[in-house]
Amino acid sequence: MNVSGKTVLLTGGTNGIGREIALQMQAKGAQVITTGRNPDRVAATRAAGFEVIEADLSSAQGVDGLIAAWGEMGRELDILINNAGQLVDHDFRNGAVDPDAADDCIYANLNAPLRLIAALTGGLKSRPHAAIVNVTSGLAISPAARTPVYCATKSALRFYTLALREQLKGTNVQVIEALPPVVDTQMNDGNPMKKMSAEECARQIIVAIEKDRDEANIGLSRALRWVESVSPSLVRKITLSF
């Protein structure tokens, strides 16, 4: 798909990977409308020339507000990128865990993409060539022990994406899964692992869109996919150590 001239709805585009996707797609001639929940980042992103819908996607109210705001814009949509996500501390080795925080993470990472896809796929089908891009994670392949809720949501979104792709086979809507490795973003502050730059991660996601690929296995996620195909038990042993 040539992204020039396409209208893109990108969730979580005011920082991290999302911000880089927005900047790079805009540079390629796409019209990017993004979302964010931090007022300062929303203001900075608007100052950079983007339309931003302020929305907290960790609740039904926030997602419904985004859907309503999109409807009021009256735009045709070519590409939906479900990028927004949350990481929650849910490690019993460090003490008690917060189930409310887990609920927010589950909603933002899984329920929000599902609800957006349900609301917007009809419009996508009306376009000559459209795409749904779900950003999961290398940890959708095999979990890390310290982030079980995050891993569970990304794995669930991965399986949803596989099934959705089968459902939309033969239509004009390409369903793409992007599986980033550990990326140098605020979410991964304090993570000692080697990190890919957000700029490079975004570049590879956009290449997958342009080349109509079903999957973008990025950086170390590509190695994880290969090891998992050979020995699932080995890849679990590796990732569970983190």
Which residues, in sequence order, are CB contacts of 206 under 8 Å at separation 6+? Answer: 3, 21, 24, 25, 28
Rounded to a whole number, what is the distance in angstroms from the first to the last CA of the chain?
A: 37
3-state SS, residue 103: helix
DSSP assigned state of 93: G
3-state SS, residue 150: helix
Beta sheet of 7-10, edge-to-edge order: 51-54, 31-36, 7-10, 79-82, 130-135, 173-179, 215-217
The Cα–Cα gap between 147 and 143 comes to: 8
Residue 150 annotated to the active site: yes
User: Active-site residue among 63, 150, 184, 235?
Assistant: 150
Catalogue the active-site residues: 150
